[in-house]
Amino acid sequence: MKIRTLSCLVTVAGCFGVNQSLLAQTADGSMLFSPNVNLSSGGQNGHAGSAGGVLLTTYSLWPNVNWLGYYDKDGDGLANSHEVSLWYTGGANGDTAVEVAHATVPAGTAAPLYNGYRWVQLPSTVGLWYGSWYTIAAQADGVDTWGDLISGSQFAWNTDYIGNNDGSWSRAGRYDSTASWPGAPANQVGSDAIYPAANMGYNLPIVPEPTSLSLFAMGALGVLACVRRIRK
């Protein structure tokens, strides 16, 4: 009887695991938003502090995130490193913000450039709750600037992250002072808009740089050598 009960519990647990994996349908190569305009051609924001936006995730998917990025205006490298964080806020006011992902985008060109952003891969994939409020923001320094508050036709929200709402806004730009970091920014500006300093993505098609590939090859050769020695 105990064995049968245990086996039922394992089966139920397995079903939950399958259901969650089926709901986690974020498409490979997806990003929170893609600019439809050249952000470097317009007015640049020199804000020093935190900048980003608040968003309400779709009600039908479990969005996944494993990359965080910071905007590189001319694609020629960043003057300074920048922290990028993603917070679960639990509501539009962000009063109970809890950090769920964090990355430091290094200065220069060390981080790969993709779609106007320098990206850092997270150590593991972070799953977001569907139909929940999140805030994404970067620590800005006033030196590495980005296109000012963008909205409407200037960019496209990815439907893997943002779903249709009931007519009220479900995303907005947010900013705060330097002293507020690392907390989620609370000052809200506009609707259907974002300060495009930070971005997030899932399984981005970023090819490792030659240096990374060579290090991987060296590591693989080292493992093979160890295996041969053990066999001998």
CA 81 – CA 104 distance, rounded (Å): 7
Kindly report the CATH class assigned to 27-211: mainly beta
**Average pLDDT of the residues in 150-167:** 82
Of the candidates 132, 138, 185, 182, the one whose C-alpha atom is nearest the C-alpha of residue 162 is 132
Reading the block at residue 167, the tokens are 């007519």
Q: pLDDT-derived band of residue 222, with 50, 70 and 90 as boundaries?
A: low
Task: Give the C-alpha distances (Å, rounded to integers) separating 75 from 71, 102, 111, 160.
Answer: 9, 22, 11, 26
CB-based contact 65:186 (threshold 8 Å): no
CA 55 – CA 67 distance, rounded (Å): 17
Task: Read off the pTM.
Answer: 0.79
Share of the chain above pLDDT 70, in %: 75
Residue ranges of domains in the chain: 27-211
Amino acid letter for position 111: A
pLDDT(4) > 60: no
CB-based contact 53:137 (threshold 8 Å): yes
Q: What mean pLDDT value characterizes the chain?
A: 82
Q: pLDDT-derived band of residue 209, with 50, 70 and 90 as boundaries?
A: low
Of the candidates 68, 60, 105, the one whose C-alpha atom is nearest the C-alpha of residue 87 is 68
85: which strand partners? 102, 137
The sign of the dihedral angle between the CA atoms of 138, 49, 46, 169 is positive
CB-based contact 193:96 (threshold 8 Å): no
Give residue 230's pLDDT.
62
192 three-state secondary structure:
coil
Give residue 26's pLDDT.
87
Q: pLDDT-derived band of residue 77, with 50, 70 and 90 as boundaries?
A: very high
